[in-house]
Amino acid sequence: MIKNTKGTILGSLLLSTCLVNTPAKAAEWSGVISTEGRYFFKEGDFGQKQSEFSIAIEPEFYHRWEDSDWSIVFKPFLRWDSLDDERTHADIRELMVRYVGDDWELKAGVSKVFWGVAESQHLVDIINQTDFVENIDGEDKLGQQMVVLSTEQEFGLVELFLLPGFRERTFAGDEGRFRFPLPINQDNPLYTDDDGQHRLDGAIRWSKWVGDWDIGVSHFSGNSREPLFTLDTSNPTAPQLQPVYTTIDQTGLDLQATKGAWLWKLEAMTRSGFGEDRYWAAVGGFEYSFYGITESGADLGMILEYQTDSRDILPGGYEQNDVAVVGFRLAMNDIQSTEALLAFSYADGQSFMNLEASRRLGDDWKVVLEGRVFTVDEDKGPYSSILYPFRNDDYISLSFEHYF
């Protein structure tokens, strides 16, 4: 089902039509159309099908007014999915007006902001809500309403964020893969703040390059993008999980040091609002690159990271286990921009293997291969691993993307 309101979608389509009709000399129009096929090696826990097909489009309009410091970007997104009605959805990824001053910048509208340096987990990335039906890796985000004022001085870049209008996380439907053991009541989420979805969130971030070090310090206050769950038994014959969005304060640190072929990375955060005690979590490690391993000039990167969390029990009642991650990144550095990433994560009684590869086909096409395998020790019970609900969702996918 399309999750945006009808008014929002209609407004986006009207605006898109107007932008298409803008004279070519005044605008830049680009984007991508993709087809994706996913095959799951096992039938789902609730009888979900093993094959899935979807089509997505993400056009982008950019315009900067002549002899002006004003610009606008508009990026809507739409996916149709053959298996999951909840994965058939639309969103405005970006609709942002920007003004650039001498040493400051003001942006207002809907946009996406990314913070973080680690490969396996982005602890400090807190501004945008995760679009979980797009991909479970957390890389895809919903557009967030925001007003951003930033200034770059000798002491670094300072960014101030006002974030009105909370976005709820998307979840798979009853027929979809990567669903939870019980249906999720997405239409009636709970909030610990009286203003609920209309709470005005805020954030601030300072960042600066110091020699070989890229340093970022951030603080966020508002509705957590990560929901907790409570059991909704209002209908005893059909219990559901009800999302609960708590008010949190999160302070984060991200560091990256570039030392020749070495990239040293750290993300750490401390957060209040999840229980009585404040907790902390961190992910850190390195990536080492072997340059020119073939006559054609291919590079191979070796990744090692470690994830830890001060809590014993994670949301949902799952046991917290430290995670070790080993990965390899291959860049062929050829005309077709052939790349591949293979990563393996291991914790007590659970493991996760991830493959991502891509290659350009001509000037306007790209093929993307993705595969994921979940391994869980089922004898330890359903709460021994946060991966337990996905233990039968191993899959491989193939996508063809056309850029225009």
Stretch (H or E) spanning 3? none
Does 1 reside within a domain?
Answer: no
The domain of 300 spans 6-403
Give pLDDT, residue 274: 87
Question: Rounded to 5 degrees, what are φ and ψ at 135?
Answer: -165, 140
Query: Per DSSP, which regions of 246-322 are E strands?
Result: 247-259, 262-273, 275-290, 299-309
Section 138-165 average pLDDT: 97
Distances 364 to 15, 54, 309, 334, 367 between C-alpha atoms, Å: 26, 20, 43, 16, 11
Does 143 reside within a domain?
Answer: yes
**In this predicted model, which residue has the larger pLDDT, 162 or 15?**
162
Question: Residue 258: is its pLDDT beyond 60?
Answer: yes
**In this predicted model, which residue has the larger pLDDT, 333 or 382?**
333
Query: Number of structural domains, the chain?
Result: 1
Strand partners, 152: 157
pLDDT band for position 384 (cuts 50, 70, 90): confident
Percent pLDDT > 70 in the chain is 94
Give the least confident one: 220-234, 306-320, 334-348.
Answer: 306-320
- Rounded distance between C-alpha atoms, residue 337 and residue 358, angstroms: 8
Give pLDDT, residue 381: 81
Question: Residue 239: is its pLDDT beyond 70?
Answer: yes
Question: Residue 17: is its pLDDT beyond 60?
Answer: no
Q: How many CB atoms lie within 10 A of CB 123?
A: 23
Section 206-218 average pLDDT: 97
Chain centroid to CA 331? 23
- Residue given tokens 């997405």 in the structure block: 186
Give pLDDT, residue 276: 78
State the CATH number of the domain containing residue 178.
2.40.160.10
Section 122-140 average pLDDT: 96
Section 219-238 average pLDDT: 93
Q: How many CA atoms lie within 13 A of 266 on its CB side?
A: 11
Strand partners, 249: 221, 272
Question: Residue 275: is its pLDDT beyond 60?
Answer: yes
Q: Helix count (H) and strand count (E) of the chain?
A: 1, 21
